[in-house]
Amino acid sequence: YQDLHTFELQAPTRVIEWARGNRVCVAGYGESGGNEILQLLPPPALQGTETQGLCSERDFKVECGGFSNRPVYSLKPVPDTRLLVTSGPPDISLQVWQVSAEDSDVIKSVSTISTENGTGQPWAKIATISARAPWVLHGSRLNNIQITEVESRENVYMAASQSTEELSGLAFLDANTLLLCCARGGLCLADVRQPQSPLEAASVPWAPCGEWWCMGVGRGPQGSDSQPVACLSSGGHLILTDIRKISESLASAKCRVPSPSSGAEFLCVSWAPALEGCLAVSGFDGMVHVYDTQSWDSSGREAEPIFVHKGHAFGPGSSRNPPLVTAHAWHPQKPRTLLSAASDGSLHVWDWVQSCGKC
Q: What percent of the chain has pLDDT over 90?
A: 67
- Mean pLDDT for the stretch of residues 279-295: 95
Of 355 and 223, which is predicted with more confidence? 223
* pLDDT at position 357 over 90: no
Does residue 22 sit in helix, strand or coil? helix
Lowest mean pLDDT among 53-57, 159-163, 279-283, 291-295: 53-57
- Mean pLDDT for the stretch of residues 343-350: 94
What's residue 50's pLDDT? 45
* pLDDT at position 51 over 60: no
* 51 Cβ contact partners less than 8 Å away, ≥ 6 residues apart: 2, 3, 45, 334
Q: What percent of the chain has pLDDT over 70?
A: 90
* 244 Cβ contact partners less than 8 Å away, ≥ 6 residues apart: 225, 226
What's residue 137's pLDDT? 98
- Mean pLDDT for the stretch of residues 124-144: 95
**Other CB atoms within 10 Å distance of the CB of residue 208:** 14
- Mean pLDDT for the stretch of residues 140-169: 93
* pLDDT at position 57 over 70: no
Q: Around 273, how many Cα atoms within 13 Å sit in the side-chain half-sphere?
A: 9
What's residue 54's pLDDT? 44
* pLDDT at position 58 over 70: no
Backbone angles phi, psi at 314, to 5 degrees: -120, 25
Q: Please, where in the chain does CATH 2.130.10.10 lie?
A: 1-49+58-197, 204-350
Gap between the Cα atoms of 3 and 300, Å rounded: 33
What's residue 340's pLDDT? 97
Backbone angles phi, psi at 21, to 5 degrees: 70, 25
What's residue 209's pLDDT? 75
Lowest mean pLDDT among 46-60, 187-201, 236-250, 301-315: 46-60
Domain 1-49+58-197: CATH class, spelled out: mainly beta
pTM: 0.92
What's residue 199's pLDDT? 84
Closest to 141 (Cα-Cα) out of 167, 160, 180? 167
Of 257 and 58, which is predicted with more confidence? 257
Please write down the long-range contacts of 258-266, taking CB distance under 8 Å and 24 or more positions apart.
258/284, 258/285, 259/284, 260/211, 260/234, 260/235, 260/236, 261/212, 261/234, 261/235, 261/236, 263/234, 264/168, 264/183, 264/212, 264/214, 264/234, 266/14, 266/324, 266/325, 266/326, 266/327
* pLDDT at position 175 over 60: yes
Lowest mean pLDDT among 26-35, 79-88, 311-320: 311-320
Read off the amino acid at residue 58.
R
Please write down the long-range contacts of 298-302, taking CB distance under 8 Å and 24 or more positions apart.
298/249, 298/250, 298/251, 298/252, 299/252, 299/253, 300/206, 300/237, 300/252, 300/253, 300/254, 301/253, 301/254, 302/253, 302/254, 302/255, 302/256
* pLDDT at position 311 over 80: yes
**Other CB atoms within 10 Å distance of the CB of residue 304:** 11
For residue 101, with 0-12 CB atoms within 10 Å meaning exposed, 13-18 middle and 19 or more buried, which class applies?
A: exposed
Q: Are 185 and 191 in contact (CB under 8 A)?
A: no
pLDDT tens across 185-241, in order? 889 999 999 988 888 777 766 667 788 999 999 998 877 788 999 999 999 999 999
What's residue 120's pLDDT? 73
pLDDT band at 177 (very low <50, low <70, confident <90, very high): very high
Domain 204-350: CATH class, spelled out: mainly beta
Gap between the Cα atoms of 203 and 117, Å rounded: 27
Terminal CA-to-CA distance of the chain, rounded, Å?
Answer: 14
